[in-house]
Chains A and B, each alone.
Chain A
Amino acid sequence: MNALVADRFVADFERVKALLPGAYVPWLQLAREEAFTAFLDKGFPTLRDEDWKYTSVAPIEKSRFVLTPAAAKSCNDLGGVGTQALPGARLLVFIDGRHAPELSRLGALPAGVTVDSLAAMLEREPERLQAALACPAAGYASGFAALNAAFVSDGAYVHLAAGAELEEPLQLLFLATAANLATHSRNVVVAGAGSRVRIVEQHASLNAGAYFSNVVTDIEAGRGAAVEHHKLQQEGPQAFHIAAVNAALGGDASFASSSFAFGGALARTAINVGLNGAKAQCSLDGLTMTDGRQHVDHHTRIDHAQPQCSSREFYKGVLDGASRTVFNGKVIVRAGAQQSDALQTNRNLLLSDQAEADTKPQLEIWADDVKCGHGATVGQLDPDQIFYLRARGVDAAAARALLVFAFANEVVERIRWLPLRARLERLLRARLPHGAGALQ
């Protein structure tokens, strides 16, 4: 990072650190300072970092963003919220990175379940967040993670006691309304043993222009817990979006993740899953649909640290225009993690000559009694399929649209919660190339 940029961040940090939530909490002050030092040390990743080989974040480094205002601005009525709310979900809304209680709709929570904004928790019971907001033992994964820890302003806090269950899905809606804003949000999900929760984390924009959202979601699933996490990235066309989802699973726990990336000029989501207890299992699904000059990156890392865990990964990309997508999926099987079962699939559909797909599925295996595999493809629509449809009377444009829809919908079909699936199908249709009318 060049000195000018560093100076700018130093000035920002000095200016806002006393205004951030929990500023008076000594351990948090310390943690923020440490994180900021780590950020200065690491700087922004460059193409020389193997994990960022295909994604240049120079545009983020070059842009000057304003930090989240210290206090939540009062919200006028935002028409966007109503249309984004998923039917039957409990809703927690964040406007420009700040909790908006008047727009949220949590309802009465069952016993053993706490859902609140991170900022409110830091006011009320900061100690419950100490473990989550401390520097991770392995250090920060990237400059962005450190930056998030230094500047974290708000996010969701979800806690389920052992055996607790949140029947209705919880929708975390992050809406950007202001241009040139940088938001550093953190979601903390602690699911006690045997608990169950389904979370939809959605990022969307209301004509916000260029902005930068830097999000970290930490999920801890205790023994036998079942957590679903669905991420919908629909940021504005000029937005920068850098996100990490870190899930640590105990024995017999299950984690179902999906990540849908439709928006952003430059967007990256890293999903890291630690299968830290025996027989834990996870499924990671993802779909990227890009057009124009979008650059969308998915990095996943599944760590089989204990025996008899299983992981399934199914990622697809549909690329149009001059867009570029990156998929990097790493599966690690640690020594002693016998009977690990890992399968990873990445398929990419190139619709345009200007598009570029980079894919890097990786296996790192340190045990022998394993069943691991991966497959990756990059290709285009199958002419045989197009001809078959045409020979049944479907015109060429509609046939292509249908096949693109079918390709992408294979990811959507894996979603078990119907209202979310219906929403995604609608989003898919809206993004189809011309001729999609025949699909209605």
Chain B
Amino acid sequence: MLEIINLHASIDDQPILRGIDLAVNAGEVHAVMGPNGSGKSTLAQVLAGRDSYTVTAGEVRYCGRNLLELSPEERAREGIFLAFQYPVEIPGVANIYLLKAAINARRKHRGEAELDAMDFLALVKDKLKFMGMDEALLYRHVNQGFSGGEKKRNEILQMALLEPRLAILDETDSGLDIDALKVVAAGVEAMRSPARAIILVTHYQRLLDYVVPDRVHVLSQGRIVRSGGPELALELERRGYGWIDAGEAERVGAAP
């Protein structure tokens, strides 16, 4: 579904991604881990089409298409969903309005009829209940005055509604208490399906206790330096990122 080949990206001429290679198939859950500054969030943002990053080399294929030539909204309509690490507050725009606009933009793109208000509301309420969210949140402005946990749940709610083909969760677990983490994890787990791929970008192992990934990749200095099964995350948890960095330094140092 997603194939990243030798991806390089920079911001303000500062290289962040230095050659990422990654393939994700439908039905798989991949975890991308790494220390702060390793480029995890940049990868997520570049995949969603953030224009403050410049792709300097490499390519990204998504369902057979060149992802990099699509605008952020086209990517969204093609089924890519990014759960933001820091969901943006939008004063003056009701949460429910955004949800409806997003769903209908997607439906229209697929040639489906837009949902009417009743069907939409029924759908949203159902998902809200699953996420343990208060209905009042629908009528508040997007993320404004939401607690950290509410913002993250709101992202997962959007994901559940939009039913993406490829979901990228950027540190959705950070800043959550254990109860909220369980709710978010259940939301992600419920999304697991043979037709869908999920990329979990995370710093810690703890989300992976609840959502067990098929593959784990470790990012360091803009490259994937280790890939493995779920056991790799556990090893990281035990030995810390220093282990990877030391290894990486050795490897880089040894290079001619």
Q: Which residues of A pack against B, CB within 8 Å?
A: 382-385, 387-396, 398-399, 402-403, 405-410, 413, 438
Contact = CB atoms under 8 A, between A and B. Distances in A.
Given A407-B92, A410-B92, A388 B87 contact: yes
A402 B88 contact: no
B93 A393 contact: no
Contacts of B91: 406-407, 410
Nearest to A413: B92
B71 A384 contact: no
Contact of A392 (B51, B101, B141): B101
Contacts of A382: 88
B48 interface: yes
B92 A406 contact: yes
A396 B71 contact: yes
Interface stretch (B35-43, B76-84, B184-192, B229-237): B76-84
B90 A388 contact: yes
B87 A394 contact: no
Contact of B76 (A383, A393, A413, A438): A393
Nearest to A408: B92
B81 to A, nearest CB: 8
Nearest to A383: B52
A409 to B, nearest CB: 5
12 contacts: A387-B48, A387-B51, A387-B72, A390-B71, A390-B76, A392-B76, A392-B158, A393-B77, A396-B73, A402-B93, A403-B92, A406-B90
Given A384-B88, A396-B71, A402-B101, A391 B93 contact: no
Contacts of A413: 92
A391 B92 contact: no
Main secondary structure on chain B at its contact with chain A?
mixed
Interface of B: 48-52, 71-73, 75-77, 81-82, 84, 87-93, 98, 101-102, 105-106, 109, 141-142, 158, 162
A393 B102 contact: yes
A157 to B, nearest CB: 38
The 7 closest A-B pairs by CB, nearest first: A406-B92, A393-B105, A393-B76, A390-B72, A392-B102, A388-B88, A406-B93
Given A389-B98, A392-B102, A393-B162, 18 more contacts: A383-B52, A389-B90, A389-B101, A390-B49, A390-B73, A390-B76, A391-B72, A391-B84, A392-B101, A393-B77, A394-B101, A394-B105, A396-B73, A398-B101, A403-B92, A403-B93, A407-B91, A410-B92
B77 to A, nearest CB: 5
Contacts of A388: 84, 87-88, 90, 142
A384 B50 CA distance: 9
B109 A393 contact: yes
A126 B88 CA distance: 60
Contacts of A385: 88-90
A394 B93 contact: no
B51 to A, nearest CB: 8
Chain A contact residues: helix, strand, loop or mixed: helix
Contacts of A438: 101
A409 B93 CA distance: 9
A402 B51 CA distance: 20
B200 to A, nearest CB: 17
Given A392-B101, A393-B102, A387 B92 contact: no
B45 to A, nearest CB: 9
Contacts of B90: 385, 388-389, 403, 406
* Residue among A384, A388, A393 with the highest chain B CB neighbour number at 10 A: A393
B83 to A, nearest CB: 10
A383 B141 CA distance: 18
Nearest to A411: B92
B146 to A, nearest CB: 14
Contacts of A398: 101
Given A390-B49, A392-B101, A438-B101, A405 B73 contact: no
Contacts of A391: 48-49, 72-73, 75-76, 81-82, 84
Contact of A395 (B48, B73, B82, B92): B73
Contacts of A383: 52
A388 B109 CA distance: 18
Nearest to A412: B92
A387 B49 CA distance: 9
Contacts of A392: 76, 98, 101-102, 105, 158, 162
Contacts of A410: 91-92
A406 B109 CA distance: 25
A192 B52 CA distance: 60
A391 B101 CA distance: 12
Contacts of B51: 387
Contacts of B93: 402-403, 406
Contacts of A389: 90, 98, 101
A402 B93 CA distance: 8
B67 to A, nearest CB: 13
Contacts of B50: 387
A119 B123 CA distance: 60
Nearest to B142: A388
A393 B106 contact: yes
A396 B89 CA distance: 17
Given A393-B77, A394-B73, A409 B92 contact: yes
Question: Most A CB atoms within 10 A — which of B48, B87, B91, B92?
Answer: B92
Contacts of B162: 392-393
B72 A405 contact: no
